[in-house]
A = this chain, B = another copy of it.
Amino acid sequence: VVGLDPVLESLPPALRPRDNTHAAAVAALESFGRGVLDVVAPHVPAVKINAGFFEAHYGEGLAAYYRLVAHAHTRGLLVIGDIKRGDIGSTAKLYARGHLGAPRQEDVDPAMIPDAVTLAGYLGENAVRPFIEAARELGRGLYVLVRPSDPGADEVHEFGSGPRFYEHMADLVGRWGAGAGLLGECGLSCVGAVVAPKDAASTAALRARLPQTPFLVPGYGAQGATAENCRPCLRADGSGAVINASRAVIYAFERADYRVRYGDDWQACVAAACQAFAADVAPLLAPRL
């Protein structure tokens, strides 16, 4: 999975907005997003589009997020909407309508809704239940935060002993995903977990704790994790996890080695980094003995 987390200040020089207007800012972000999606599509099955980077530009920014989801679909990509929403049940229903459910108005393009979303499950089952219902009805999915990649999250997730808080969250996510009609052909649930690789032992323990839960694995590349660090997130048959790289791919045009090879062709840099990323993690998908 390639993560699309674009910030205005880091766009390729050719794409930076010409003036300091809001419309130019949103157009620049969207243009970069389309350019990334176009060149990564041949190399990865899915992208993760981070809503926060678009909400930095208000309602129009979020509208661009939805248009990029639709654009990714035209390129044959699956899309994970990285929204990390989490609110009480009455509000969760509305978030689920906008972010995972089928549109209720006839003039809304259904292609702009992602195939899966990331969620915070810290307000309990009611906060994720409307998303689970939408996922079951529409063949979509969700990934609930269990072990975030930011080490700063440890002050919350390492709380408690026997089990720790993140293990408690893992147990809840496993339980929420075990309901009738939620398991697919491979025995994996539509209720997944966001699990960053930490030390191999604790990551393997989470994998064992959640045998039917697909993992979305952040932290590869710019955040420091290697393909080898990610290995314990996969099941022994090589399934059960998707690995995300964001900055290492989408900002590849900043790297001297790619610039030497591709000059100002930023899309060639992104394509090459994406290919390198896919090749780096491909061996993980082979069954282990």
Contact = CB atoms under 8 A, between A and B. Distances in A.
Interface of A: 5, 7, 20-23, 25, 50, 52-53, 55-66, 84-92, 94-95, 97-99, 103-108, 112, 120-127, 145, 148-150, 152-156, 159-160, 165, 168-169, 172
A55 B150 contact: no
Given A5-B90, A88-B149, A155 B124 contact: yes
How many copies are assembled? 2
B57 A59 contact: no
A50 B150 contact: no
Nearest to A21: B107
Given A123-B152, A150-B126, A98 B56 contact: yes
Contact of A22 (B60, B94, B95, B107): B107
A153 B105 CA distance: 32
A62 B98 CA distance: 10
A153 B123 contact: yes
- Could you tell me the dominant secondary structure of chain A's interface residues? helix
Contacts of A60: 59, 63
Contacts of A53: 91, 94
A86 B84 contact: yes
A151 to B, nearest CB: 9
Given A20-B105, A86-B120, A106-B21, A94 B58 contact: no
A55 B98 contact: yes
Contacts of A159: 160, 165, 168
B108 A127 contact: no
5 contacts: A55-B62, A56-B95, A62-B63, A122-B145, A125-B152
Given A20-B106, A59-B64, 10 more contacts: A23-B107, A25-B104, A52-B85, A56-B97, A58-B98, A90-B150, A124-B154, A125-B155, A126-B150, A126-B152
Contacts of A165: 159-160, 165
